[in-house]
Structure 1
Amino acid sequence: MAGFCFKTTWLAVRGRTVREVADALDLRERETLDTERVPDYHLWARAVDGELLRAYCYLGERGEVPLVVGEPTAVEIDRGVGVRRREPGMEHWSDDEWDRWHEAIPDEFDVMAIAGRWSVDPSRIDDATVTGDGIFGRPPTGPKGTWGP
């Protein structure tokens, strides 16, 4: 069985059986969390009732923050990540200013911590306790690409 942690994408639903999840693909709340070490890519997003409330993406190999939607959540603020983006005048920053900017850049451990506060931290799942293959598929899309009916 393959491990389930870094370099994976997951949909996590807390407190439900596989059957309940399969029957409830029209869940009110959805999240996606992605992390890829080599390009230093980290993304998280949360939608409720088809409305994207929070999304943040950092692509380190380009030094870009290509996606920011909504305000940082409590876990982001607690960890000091997801709070900075590309800012005007960056080309004139001192080393100290760059150091402060980089301190607020997420890594894969931050993505796992966000996952744990939002739903499930897959790095804490003991592979030996996983007894099934899970469910694979795509959630239904609604009008204008929103999640849900």
Structure 2
Amino acid sequence: METLITGNRLVNKGDNKENMATLETLLNYLSAEFGEAQFFGTNRVVEYHSWMKSKNGKMERIYSYLGESMENIKVFGQPTDAEDQLTLFNSFSKDAENEAYFERQDLTYADEMLVMEIAGKWGVNPTVLSKRTDIKKELGLVGE
């Protein structure tokens, strides 16, 4: 069984280095309790796109990109199978020290669609929930 938590306050938690640390702590806590916790964030205005996965209290993967400044907020861990065919832009890489890196045609820049694609490969793509027939039609819970 999967539990989805959604909200604007969560998305903005990962849009800078300080808030990223808070989000990592939350995901590690949740995954210690429930086995696995994932985060997906996207904001079209600043082109913020991020995904994170923690298992059993330990962060396994973080990819977070801020298109407005063409830089990553954080890249951690090995790419997952869902990212295997991608050459994700990484402003922290040694290659990025050379200006020619930014002209490469083989780089994949994260966007909203890619975030949802990764979410689907890891478990649930929220943009297709309305098409699923295995979900009860109920309101769920609201909290802070």
Give the TM-score of the pair, scaled to structure 1.
0.63
Q: Following TM superposition, by how much is the alpha carbon of 1:34 offset from its aligned partner in structure 2, in angstroms?
A: 0.6
Contact 1:28 1:49 in 2 (8 A): yes
Q: Separation in 2 of the partners of 1:53 and 1:89?
A: 23
CA distance in 2, matches of 1:107, 1:81: 14
Equivalent positions of 1:1-80 (< 5 A) are 26-78=33-85, 80=86
Q: Kindly indicate which of the two structures has a greater share of residues assigned to helix.
A: 2
Tell me by how many angstroms 1:128 deviates.
10
User: Cα distance, 1:103 vs. partner?
Assistant: 3.0
Map of 1:134 onto structure 2 = 140
* Residue ranges of structure 2 left out of the alignment (5+ in a row): 1-6, 12-31
- The Cα of 1:29 is off from its aligned counterpart by 0.5
| Matched residue, 2:124 | 120
Percent identity, aligned pairs only, is 30
Shift of 1:62: 1.3
2:107 is aligned, of 80, 96, 103, to: 103
Q: Secondary structure at the match of 1:26?
A: helix
Give the Å deviation of 1:89.
Answer: 6.8
Alpha carbons of 1:88 and 1:32: their partners in 2 closer, same or farther (altered >3 Å)? same
Within 1, Cα distance between the matches of 2:107 and 2:95? 18
CA apart distance, 1:137: 4.4
Question: 2: CA distance between counterparts of 1:59 and 1:89?
Answer: 18
Quote how far apart the aligned CAs of 1:135 are: 2.9
RCO higher in structure (CA 8 A, sep ≥6): 1
Give RMSD over aligned pairs. 3.2
TM (norm. structure 2) is 0.65
Contact persistence 1:76–1:83 (CA under 8 A):
no
Number of residues of Structure 1 aligned to a counterpart in Structure 2: 115
| Greater Cα radius of gyration, structure 1 or 2 | 1
Q: CA deviation at 1:87?
A: 3.6
